[in-house]
């Protein structure tokens, strides 16, 4: 029973993180066709940002979150303008530019914070005992915040003019341009939105994880698996796929021997099995020219 609750909590939290990351990643892919490998590197930078504001400067964690989101979004837009926008027509070049960006962020953080393991205080302390298992309020908060952010994002995409522009650009860039949508500006706004989401994810998760410069690698792989599993460009698919893989990971970690080593492998094998049956992912729309 205890194990079951542990599994549920761990699955819900990693599922929410993967969902937030995957949605940000597929947004910028859908609108600008950029495979942003540096997406989770922004998440890492946000985590370090919070560490600096709370631990080094001594502010309340809430200020740390705000600062992290603002600064990382700015950083995202600046790196888009400087390094990605000039070479956007060359897909291969964009790809390795984002890989190089991620490496650069990792190294800068490694130089400043010396690669040791760090942690950040919880936003609210204390825990509640449910059926004999400690459930930290921070865990509930993270899960709740993730659901709220997802709902907010859905409203933004479905109910506002910006959302309409984003969705139509994702569907057909040329026609959207002809309808008077400034495609370059939408791409930049989407980049800001997507990096902002990554920062927000970092902000709500960081109290539960350990900070180190390589912390972006594992979420990157899982995020890509979620995106493929759910179908690129499908919000519903990313959401469901994220929880499937999150629970698969949690199950393996808690139940299988050597689980910590195998968690990635099992989750990725599930993704490949699903792809064998449905090559377009769970909810993927088949774009004829792309598949």
List residues near another protein by CB under 8 A. 29, 35, 37, 83, 86-87, 89-90, 92-93, 95-97, 99-101, 103-104, 106-108, 110-111, 217, 220-221, 224-225, 227-228, 232, 258, 261-266, 268-269, 271-272, 275-276, 279, 281, 290-291
**Strand bridging mode 127-130 / 133-136:** antiparallel
User: How far lies 56's CA from each of 22, 48, 49, 118, in Å?
Assistant: 31, 11, 10, 12
> Which residue, 9 or 240, has its beta carbon nearer to another protein?
240
Q: How far is the CB of 215 from another protein (least distance, A)?
A: 13
Q: How far is the CB of 272 from another protein (least distance, A)?
A: 6
Token pair of 207, please? 């109290």
Q: How far is the CB of 128 from another protein (least distance, A)?
A: 35
Token pair of 189, please? 């706004």
> Which residue, 36 or 138, has its beta carbon nearer to another protein?
36
Q: How far is the CB of 93 from another protein (least distance, A)?
A: 4
> Which residue, 100 or 179, has its beta carbon nearer to another protein?
100
> Which residue, 64 or 219, has its beta carbon nearer to another protein?
219
> Which residue, 99 or 189, has its beta carbon nearer to another protein?
99
Residues with Cβ < 8 Å from 93, sequence gap 6 or more? 87
Q: How far is the CB of 104 from another protein (least distance, A)?
A: 4
Q: How far is the CB of 54 from another protein (least distance, A)?
A: 26
> Which residue, 149 or 227, has its beta carbon nearer to another protein?
227
First to last CA, the chain: 44
Task: Tell which residue, 189, 176, 156, 291, has the closest CA to residue 232.
Answer: 291
Asked if 198 and 24 count as a contact pair (C-beta separation under 8 A), the reply is: yes
**What is the spatial distance between Cα 68 and Cα 63, in angstroms, rounded to a whole number?**
8
The Cα angle at residue 191 between residues 108 and 13, in degrees rounded to 5: 75
Q: How far is the CB of 34 from another protein (least distance, A)?
A: 10
Asked if 188 and 74 count as a contact pair (C-beta separation under 8 A), the reply is: no
> Which residue, 83 or 127, has its beta carbon nearer to another protein?
83
User: Rounded to 5 degrees, what are φ and ψ at 3?
Assistant: -60, -40
């Amino acid at each position: 029973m205890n194990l079951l609750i542990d599994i549920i909590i761990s699955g819900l939290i990693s599922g929410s993180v993967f969902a937030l990351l995957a949605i940000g990643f597929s947004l910028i892919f859908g609108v600008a066709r950029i495979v942003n490998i540096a997406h989770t590197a922004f998440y890492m930078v946000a985590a370090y940002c919070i560490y600096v504001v709370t631990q080094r400067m001594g502010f309340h964690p809430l200020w740390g979150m705000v600062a992290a989101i603002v600064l990382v979004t700015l950083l995202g837009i600046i790196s888009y303008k400087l390094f990605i926008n000039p070479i956007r027509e060359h897909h291969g070049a964009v790809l390795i530019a984002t890989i190089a960006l991620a490496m650069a962020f990792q190294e800068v953080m490694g130089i400043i914070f010396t690669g040791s393991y760090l942690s950040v205080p919880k936003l609210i302390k204390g825990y509640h005992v449910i059926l004999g298992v400690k459930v930290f309020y921070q865990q509930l908060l993270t899960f709740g915040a993730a659901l709220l952010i997802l709902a907010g994002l859905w409203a933004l995409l479905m109910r506002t003019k910006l959302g309409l522009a984003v969705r139509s650009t994702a569907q057909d860039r040329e026609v959207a341009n002809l309808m008077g949508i400034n495609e370059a500006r939408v791409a930049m706004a989407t980049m800001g939105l997507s990096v902002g989401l990554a920062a927000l994810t970092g902000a709500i998760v960081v109290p539960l994880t350990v900070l180190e410069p390589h912390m972006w690698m594992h979420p990157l792989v899982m995020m890509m698996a979620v995106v493929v599993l759910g179908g690129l460009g499908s919000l519903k698919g990313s959401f469901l796929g994220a929880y499937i893989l999150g629970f698969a990971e949690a199950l393996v970690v808690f139940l299988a021997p050597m689980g910590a080593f195998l968690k990635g492998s099992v989750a990725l094998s599930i993704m490949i099995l699903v792809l064998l049956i449905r090559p377009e992912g769970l909810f993927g729309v088949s774009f004829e020219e792309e598949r």
